Amino acid sequence: MSEQPQSSFWKKLQQAAEKLEQAKKTMLSTGINWRKILPIFIAVIALIGSGYAAAQIISNWVTVGQVSVKPGYQVSAAVIQNLPSEMALYEEKQFKVQLTNNDQVQHNVNLDVNLTLIAGSGIDSGDFTITCNETNPTVVSDGDETVILRFPTNTAMAPGDQATYVCRIKFIGEDLVDKVVRVEAAASEAS
């Protein structure tokens, strides 16, 4: 059998064994009970050796970026089609929202829509009609300045899945004339 050159791992392991032997001799000469300490040394050397063998870095380290991690969302919402900046009373307009599951697990989601008066008060769930994917909402909250609606679609979204909601809205409350209504959408966890 031909003799192969020793790898740096085996050289380091051999050096560690030699240091262990030296430590044993030192302990014997000082009266320390080496039989109690020797297993610890062997375990440490084995751990170092196995870690070195399992992940031996053979190149230099390069920086690929320095990232400041910010809070994120398990499911994110994005606008695909906006509402116009002005709408006439009794005029129906369409908007689209896309939800994306960013998580590593499935989520069952509903679409929530929030309508808020920018200034003043007097919005009510009876002041508009709205459907998303031809589904009527349930009222979650009906305040004087904000109305929150839920479209109980219970959409099952696997990791990476996207769901698009096509919504139609029509303002019919005459008390909303000359007022600005902010319309927002978000995902909520379905039960």
My answer on whether 134 and 48 are in the same domain is: no
Cross-strand partners of 81: 96
According to DSSP, residue 70 is labeled: -
Q: For residue 2, name the pLDDT band (cuts at 50, 70, 90).
A: very low
Structural domains counted in the chain:
2
Quick check: is 161 in a domain? Answer: yes
What is the residue whose two structure tokens read 């005459």? Answer: 174
Quick check: is 102 in a domain? Answer: yes
My answer on whether 185 and 134 are in the same domain is: yes
My answer on whether 81 and 173 are in the same domain is: yes
Please, is 97 exposed, middle or buried when counting C-beta atoms within 10 Å of its C-beta (0-12, 13-18, 19+)? Answer: buried
My answer on whether 100 and 35 are in the same domain is: no
8 A C-beta contact, residue 105 and residue 88: no
What is the residue whose two structure tokens read 């970026």? Answer: 65
8 A C-beta contact, residue 181 and residue 115: yes
My answer on whether 47 and 83 are in the same domain is: no
My answer on whether 85 and 123 are in the same domain is: yes
What is the residue whose two structure tokens read 């989520």? Answer: 107
My answer on whether 80 and 109 are in the same domain is: yes
Quick check: is 39 in a domain? Answer: yes
CATH number for the domain spanning 90: value is 2.60.40.710
My answer on whether 40 and 101 are in the same domain is: no
My answer on whether 95 and 167 are in the same domain is: yes
pLDDT for the residue numbered 187: 93
Quick check: is 87 in a domain? Answer: yes
Quick check: is 26 in a domain? Answer: yes
My answer on whether 100 and 20 are in the same domain is: no
- For residue range 89-125, what is the model confidence (pLDDT) as tens digits? 999 999 999 999 999 999 999 999 999 999 878 899 9
Quick check: is 34 in a domain? Answer: yes
Q: For residue 1, name the pLDDT band (cuts at 50, 70, 90).
A: very low
- For residue range 122-158, what is the model confidence (pLDDT) as tens digits? 899 999 999 999 999 999 999 888 999 999 888 899 9
Q: For residue 3, name the pLDDT band (cuts at 50, 70, 90).
A: very low
My answer on whether 30 and 95 are in the same domain is: no
Quick check: is 67 in a domain? Answer: no
Structural domain including 42 reads 8-54
User: Distance (Å, rounded) from C-alpha 164 to C-alpha 133?
Assistant: 9
Quick check: is 79 in a domain? Answer: yes
pLDDT for the residue numbered 49: 60
User: Distance (Å, rounded) from C-alpha 9 to C-alpha 15?
Assistant: 10
